Structure 1
Amino acid sequence: MSPRLNMIIGLVALILGAVAMSVFTVDQRQYALVFQLGEVKRVITEPGLHFKLPLVQNIRFFDNRILTLESADPERFITSEKKNVLVDSFIKWRIVDPKLYYMSVGGDEMRARTRLSQTVNAGLREEFGKRLVHDVISGERDKIMDRMREKADIDARRIGVKIVDVRLKRVELPDEVSGAVYSRMEAERKRVANELRSEGAAEAEKIRADADRQREIIVAEAYRDAQKVKGEGDAKAAALYAEAFSKSPEFYAFYRSLEAYRNSFASKNDVLVVEPNSDFFKYLKNQGK
């Protein structure tokens, strides 16, 4: 191989190496800072292929996605009534100014997390110190989170970071306080339950008494109507008997005597003691007639 060919190959390799050292790719999930001799020369926020001066400039990448800062253990805060509460929270944040972020915390994510955690912790202590236990547990949780997001974002902007959200996952009383609170809640619930049972028993007695009264009224009205119908029936029967008697008194007397005989001797064990000359045997003695 001739020296000239070796020179050409070496030149091409040198050019390719220089091009490779001059080209870099920025992912859509990243920012890129171009440094020259330790000084930030450019901030690249658009993804794609970019160029730099080889050997003179170097690149450092930062995440532009929303990051989560979550407390490892619940923090203890004091309310305005001097009661302790345990608060479990998390922060959603992202880098919006990579140059300021680098200049403020040196691009160190742990330093940024520490700064944000201290800011939110101090703000929560202030907000909880203004409110009662009921307010921080349920009444004003949304209001606390909104105010903390606004206040923490103001401080975070100084290091090139934006606070997207601050959330309280859990707010509860410590174990040493929860037992007493739950006991009071249980006693209160039992008191309310007893009141409701008493009211229910009184209402039941009232309904039962009203039902008994209505039953007595219905039975009395039914008996009255029954007696009325019975009286009307007896009156009609008496009228029929009277009409039949008026048409043939002798036949009517004979028919009624037969009925009396049949009713008196319906069973073999029936015994009737009367005088032989009694009118009861009138038609038995006068068979021919």
Structure 2
Amino acid sequence: MKNIGTVLIAVIGLLIVTSLSAFTVDQREYALVFRLGEIVSVKKEPGLYFKMPFVDNVRYFDRRILTLNWQEPDRFITSEKKNVLVDSFVKWRIIDPAKYYVSVKGDELQAERRLSQTVNDGLRAEFGKRTIHEVVSGERGKIMEILRQRADRDSRQMGIQVLDVRLKRVDLPQEVSESVYQRMNAERKGVANKLRSDGAADAEKIRADADKQREVIIAEAYREAQRIKGEGDAKASETYAQAYGKNPEFYAFYRSLDAYRNSFKSKSDVLVLEPNSDFFKYMRSPGKK
């Protein structure tokens, strides 16, 4: 029984020592093994590892891609001395956990502060060399690539790799936006007024041309009507002359009948003539040739 107790104690002690000396590394993290405050081993691959119990301790660091995202947009000045608000973010990860620990004591907040300062310095330098149009649309992609390369080069000293720097939004400050809006509104109104004045001038020109064409058409129509009327009168005169030449007495009689018909068309018509007037010639002797 004494031997069995000794074996059990030994087994339990061995399990305790094993549990204190064994540790695992996940595929999402790095592990640093410290011995009396000094780094003695770096574990970058996942698996089961061992350390000296009561002497060594292990710290884990995230090896996944992390995001540095600012809460509020920062203000920068362009080459035109105009302020812009820039909202950006950075994608980064730890590639050298030992250097990362030595540089920032493994503090993620401290690492992000240093990374933020590097990116902001780059933004200030790049925006100071460009106009608003260039930073908004013209060279936006070029700026992001320059910032990524610069931030990655500086961050390698901390054991960090910068994968991407993105400008989410580049806006004008509220007071500048208002002045720009007012200027654009004034310019649009000026263009609208010019278009209205040009339209009114064109309308007057079209009306004047239409009135001119109307007068020309009326004059030509009146001239054509007078010509046709003259031709008709000439034709009528010619017909009357021919009729008179064939039988003057009948022509005179026919014309007298027309005169009687037109004179006595209405009962209210009044005609005062002498009885022996030529007007009553055919009334006095209708059978006379």
TM-score calculated relative to the size of structure 1? 0.72
Alignment of 1:252-271 (within 5 A): 252-271=251-270
- How far did 1:96 drift? 6.1
Q: What's 1:234 paired with?
A: 233
Alignment of 1:32-47 (within 5 A): 32-37=29-34, 38-44=39-45
Computing the radius of gyration from Cα coordinates, the structure with the larger value is: 2
Deviation larger for 215-224 or 183-192: 183-192
Deviation larger for 236-245 or 109-118: 236-245
Q: Please give the secondary structure, in 1, of the residue aligned with 2:50.
A: coil
Q: What's 2:48 paired with?
A: 51
Alignment of 1:186-205 (within 5 A): 186-205=185-204
Aligned alpha-carbon RMSD (Å)? 3.7
Q: What's 2:92 paired with?
A: 94
Q: What's 2:166 paired with?
A: 166
Alignment of 1:5-154 (within 5 A): 25-26=26-27, 30=28, 32-37=29-34, 38-44=39-45, 50-53=47-50, 58=58, 60=60, 62=62, 64-65=64-65, 67-83=66-82, 85-95=83-93, 97-99=95-97, 101-132=100-131, 135-136=134-135, 140-154=139-153
Instruction: Work out the CA distance in 2 between the residues paired with 1:153 and 1:244.
Output: 120
Instruction: Work out the CA distance in 2 between the residues paired with 1:123 and 1:101.
Output: 22
- How far did 1:169 drift? 0.5
8 Å CA contact 2:244, 2:251 repeated in 1: yes
246 and 192 in structure 1: CA distance in 2 versus 1, 3 angstrom threshold: same
Aligned length: 269
139 and 206 in structure 1: CA distance in 2 versus 1, 3 angstrom threshold: farther
Matched letter for residue 113 of structure 2 = T
- How far did 1:195 drift? 3.5
Q: Please give the secondary structure, in 2, of the residue aligned with 1:52.
A: strand
**Paired-residue identity, %:** 51
Instruction: Work out the CA distance in 2 between the residues paired with 1:122 and 1:59.
Output: 32
Unaligned runs of 5+ in 1: none
Q: Please give the secondary structure, in 1, of the residue aligned with 2:267.
A: coil
TM-score calculated relative to the size of structure 2? 0.72
Show CA shifts across 1:98-141 (max 9, x none).
Answer: 53545544443322322222112112222233345565556655
Instruction: Work out the CA distance in 2 between the residues paired with 1:60 and 1:166.
Output: 29
Instruction: Work out the CA distance in 2 between the residues paired with 1:98 and 1:229.
Output: 109
